[in-house]
Amino acid sequence: MYNSRKIIMILAASAFTVGAMAQDGTRDNGVKMYNYGKYKSAEAVLTPLAATDPLANYYLGLSYLESGDVATAGTTFSKYPEDPANISGTARVAFAGKDVAKGMQIAKDLAAKGKKKEWIQEKYAADAIAHSEGGDYHQAITWYTDVLTKTDDADTHIGMGDAYRKIPGGGGDAMNNYEHVTEKDPKNSLGFTHIGDLWYEAHNYQSALDNYAKAKDADATNPMPYKALANAYTRSGRYQLALDNIKTYIKLSDNTLADKLEYERALYRAQSSCDAASYAKDLLSKEQLTNDNKIEVTGILGYSEADCGDSTDALKNLRSYFSMQDPKKIMSGDYIQLGKLMLKLDMLDSAGFYYTKGISGDTAQNKSDVYRQIAEAFKTKKDYCKSADWYNNLIKANPETQAGDYAWRAIMYYYCKDLSNAMNAANDFAAKYPTQPSAPYWQGRCASAIDSEATTGAAVTYFIKWLDIVGPDYAKKNEMKGAYEYLLYYYYNKKDKDNMKMYIDKIKAIDPNDQAVHDIEEAEKTPAAKPKAKK
């Protein structure tokens, strides 16, 4: 006959074992979420377990602590006053409250509770210091070192590495501990993440990228390497790759407000302007933003709308941004961007004002790029006089600038009809870059415009020099024809028949129906009908 009581006891024991294993598995999932920075997810998993599981309670408290809720973390840890992990948590709360002395005393008292072969007390005491600010990191390392004589625990190596990172010159020892973990367990995503962080702090971004990629490969559910990759790509100016990784991070993370703000910044940096504008509107309408966050998002919205094409709304939001932002935090580039927007809206005086304000606040020694952008912006709007003035500012600030800047200064003054400054600018261009073919050409254009009746021959030397440089096969035939026409009129006025015939033939080779040639030939038939030079 079967012993029913024994069977019931066996079944009950089995059920307890399965339940305990299930709880351990769930707790481990919560711990993993904590380690991966998914604090809200960790809280959701660990809260039901914390009433009966001290370790689950400890990681629940840590999740509150990392989320910034120090008071709730303290209350949580206090539920298990004799548990080493939770005692460690109370030390972390003290450190978070800037009470370093109390935090150190709790850690020391905890470490002293360990007996000869025990190591868990020292480990948690060291963790409290290593993962906080202000404690005695050398003491933490001493405890970790003792722990490692008793166990080769991966978490202890990572904690020890974190402690070394907080000590000047401790990077090498930190790396040794992290690499020990990954060599022993190539699937330890957290270990590779910390190695990547160490390289990132050393500004070795390629090595950081390599290790973040390994962390990603070790566990595709770990969001941390994606965020770290995004940071590294951002620092190296590879904004589209940064955006690609932050998108994946957002999918894997808890998608907190901080995460959303990072995503918004990534969209803006990658110049995904329309997406950045749309996302900024959602943040402003749906999220509880701090005042600083609201200012930042409003600025991104305005600048993104400007690039996306909604200039009117962009101006409204940028005016809001400038009114809210601390003037000390407004950079010279902000004023220049606002100037570009004003220019786009044909608010030329306002554009000039903000451009000037931006330039005056720019501390860079070489402002050539900024000056050039402004000059080109006015050129695009066909405000040639202002464009010329900004090219002039560029050259005065940087006389060694490129030939194109000298050329455009002369050209813009020419189209502005400021012929005196145009001639001076062309002469400066030729003096600075005597081998540039366009220099004598623009000297000729400016001189011929001043000598509009082609009577003084002021442009003759320049045009002949230019024509000799470019040769008869020069591709821009209209430019050659213009020079020939001035020379034709000049020699007509000088009654130099041989040169007249030469330039008539050259012009006809380009354009048999040229009006200037027609006028000269008609004037030759009727001397009283004197032709006027083409301006």
| C-alpha span between 353 and 330 (Å, rounded) | 15
Given pLDDT bands bounded at 50, 70 and 90, which one contains residue 529?
A: low
Phi, psi of 349, deg, nearest 5: -65, -45
In one-letter notation, the amino acid at residue 168 is: P
pLDDT score, position 75: 97
Among 305, 238, 286, residue whose Cα is nearest residue 266: 238
- Of all residues in the chain, the percent with pLDDT exceeding 90 is 74
- Number of CB atoms found within 10 A of residue 26's CB: 16
Whether residue 8 is predicted with pLDDT greater than 70 in this model: the reply is no
Q: Indicate if the pLDDT at residue 68 is higher than 60.
A: yes
pLDDT per residue as tens digits for the range 504-519: 999 999 999 999 899 8
| Nearest CA-CA partner of 358 in 344, 347, 342 | 342
Phi and psi, residue 287, nearest 5°: -110, 150
Average pLDDT value for the chain: 90
One DSSP character per residue, 273-320 reads HHHHHHHHHHHHHHS---HHHHHHHHHHHHHHHHHHT-HHHHHHHHHH
Compute CA distances 286 → 101, 247, 257, 283, 488, whole Å. Answer: 42, 20, 11, 5, 73
Tens digit of each residue's pLDDT (9 = 90 or more) over 31-61? 999 999 999 999 999 999 999 999 999 999 9
- Looking at residue 13, what is its pLDDT? 45
Q: 446, 469 in Cβ contact below 8 A?
A: no
pLDDT at position 147: 95
Which helix (H) or strand (E) is 382 found in, with range? none
Helices (H) and strands (E) in the chain — how many of each? 29, 0
The candidate with the shortest Cα–Cα distance to 459, out of 115, 467, 364, 42, is 467
Q: Domain 437-535 belongs to what topology?
A: 1.25.40
Distance separating alpha carbons of residues 211 and 387, to the nearest angstrom: 49
Q: With b meaning 16 or more CB within 10 Å and e meaning fewer, what string describes 157-183? A: bbbbbbbbbbeeebbebbbebbbbbbe
- Answer yes or no: is pLDDT of 470 > 50: yes
Nearest to 193 by CA among 150, 236, 228: 228
pLDDT of 2 above 50: no
Query: Contact 270/235 with Cβ under 8 angstroms?
Result: no
More confident residue, 533 or 239: 239
**Cα 239 to Cα 210: distance, rounded to the nearest angstrom:** 17
- Cα distances from 370 to residues 298, 336, 348, in angstroms, run 24, 8, 17
Q: Which residues contact 180 (CB under 8 A, 6 or more apart)?
A: 157
* CA–CA distances in Å: residue 434 to residues 80, 209, 395, 438: 85, 49, 17, 10
- How do residues 72-87 score in pLDDT, each as one tens digit? 999 999 999 999 999 9
Of 322 and 344, which is predicted with more confidence? 322
3-state helix/strand/coil string of 392-438: HHHHHHCCCCCHHHHHHHHHHHHHCCCHHHHHHHHHHHHHHCCCCCH
The residue to which tokens 């060599």 are assigned: 183
H/E element holding 175? helix 171-184
Instruction: Please name which of 302, 341, 305, 340 lies closest in space to residue 324, comparing C-alpha atoms.
Output: 302
**What is the token pair recorded at 394?**
């560029």
d(CA 16, CA 22): 10
Amino acid letter, 501: K
Which is higher by pLDDT, 228 or 178?
A: 178
Q: Which helix (H) or strand (E) holds 491?
A: helix 477-493
On the question of pLDDT at 533 being above 80, the answer is no
- What distance lies between CA 207 and its chain's CA centroid? 20
Q: What is the pLDDT of residue 335?
A: 87
Residue type, 146: D
Span 392-420, average pLDDT: 95
Residue 1 has pLDDT above 80, yes or no: no
Q: The pTM is what?
A: 0.63
Q: How far apart are CA 65 and CA 89, in angstroms?
A: 9
DSSP H helical ranges for 47-83: 54-66, 70-77
Question: CA torsion angle for 304, 306, 310, 316 (degrees, to 10)?
Answer: 90
Q: What is the pLDDT of residue 535?
A: 56
Largest CA distance in the chain: 144
pLDDT above 90 (res 21):
no
pLDDT over 70 (residue 438): yes
Question: Which two tokens mark 492?
Answer: 């007509």
Report d(CA 332, CA 378) in Å as an integer: 18
Residue 267 has pLDDT above 80, yes or no: yes
Whole-angstrom distance, CA of residue 294 vs CA of residue 325: 10
* pLDDT value of position 236: 80
